[in-house]
């Protein structure tokens, strides 16, 4: 016998989707009106906090997004440069790090995370968003994180709105929730350690608790990095951030 929870009820889901749509519109307006100087300052603050975090320094394999200024996402260019550009001064950060970045395959929430070794591996898609070409320079298929022999330690996630209980509101395509659900299932099946899910956020994107609506398919994050600091949420995050 299957039971239907109140959140699963079609009418309740419809109300939640309307709430999500309204919140997305509000946050988009707030991001659009954000002072460019403040935006740049917050971009630097968030990236520096990630770069200095023990969980970032110790991670060997990670998934991270390529920021898009048109979408007003928190900039990740400095972060990615630190991972990809080897220099003797920073080799404590880069040694052994493997980076996977998103490639959207279709409009049905299908997104893959493919391995890159340079920003030159990226091409602009039809939406002018940088993503990895499916083949590398030698004509070989890029490694898909779902087919890799080892798990990633860390996923750095974008979004539109967040709260301090771990709720994340995406842009409505469902790409990250679908990918995270698939990847977490794979990790469980292979008896690997679940990756650390960290969202990065401007200050205007952090909502009061309970404001971000969720459905049963939404994946919660372990920690949130805002310009004012790292906010540990899950028990795993609190243990790592002590």
Give binding residues for ATP as ranges.
20-24, 168-176
Is 138 or 93 the better-scoring residue by pLDDT? Answer: 138
Collapsing DSSP states into helix, strand and coil, what is residue 225? strand
Give binding residues for substrate as ranges.
66, 73
pLDDT of 20 reads 95
d(CA 173, CA 233): 25
| Confidence bin at 129 (pLDDT 50/70/90) | confident
CB within 8 Å of 237: residues ≥ 6 apart: 196, 222, 223
The tens digit of pLDDT for each residue in 134-148 reads 998 888 999 999 999
> Would you tell me which CATH number, out of the four given (3.90.79.10, 3.40.50.10420, 3.20.20.60, 3.40.50.720), belongs to the domain 36-241?
3.40.50.10420
| Mean pLDDT computed over every residue of the chain | 89
pLDDT of 239 reads 87
Give binding residues as ranges.
20-24, 66, 73, 168-176
The tens digit of pLDDT for each residue in 6-63 reads 455 555 888 999 999 999 999 999 999 999 999 999 999 999 999 999 999 999 999 9
Compute the average pLDDT of residues 64-74.
94
- Write down the domain spans for the chain: 36-241
């Amino acid at each position: 016998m299957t039971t239907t929870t109140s959140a699963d009820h079609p009418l309740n889901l419809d109300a939640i989707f309307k709430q999500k749509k309204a919140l997305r519109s509000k946050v988009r307006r707030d991001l659009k009106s954000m002072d460019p100087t403040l935006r740049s300052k917050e971009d630097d603050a968030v990236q520096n906090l990630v770069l200095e975090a023990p969980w970032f320094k110790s991670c060997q394999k990670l998934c991270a997004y390529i920021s898009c200024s048109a979408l007003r996402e928190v900039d990740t260019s400095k972060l990615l440069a630190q991972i990809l550009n080897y220099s003797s001064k920073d080799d404590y950060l880069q040694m052994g790090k493997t980076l996977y970045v998103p490639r959207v395959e279709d409009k049905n929430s299908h997104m893959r995370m493919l391995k890159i070794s340079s920003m030159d591996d990226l091409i602009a898609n039809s939406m002018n968003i940088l993503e990895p070409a499916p083949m590398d320079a030698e004509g070989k298929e890029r490694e898909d994180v779902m087919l890799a022999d080892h798990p990633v330690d860390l996923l750095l996630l974008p979004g539109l709105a967040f709260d301090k209980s771990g709720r994340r509101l995406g842009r409505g395509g469902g790409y990250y929730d679908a990918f995270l659900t698939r990847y977490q299932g794979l990790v469980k099946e292979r008896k690997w350690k679940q990756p650390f899910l960290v969202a990065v956020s401007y200050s205007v994107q952090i909502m009061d608790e309970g404001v971000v609506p969720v459905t049963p398919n939404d994946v919660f994050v372990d920690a949130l990095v805002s310009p004012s600091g790292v906010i540990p949420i899950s028990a795993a995050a609190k243990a790592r951030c002590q």
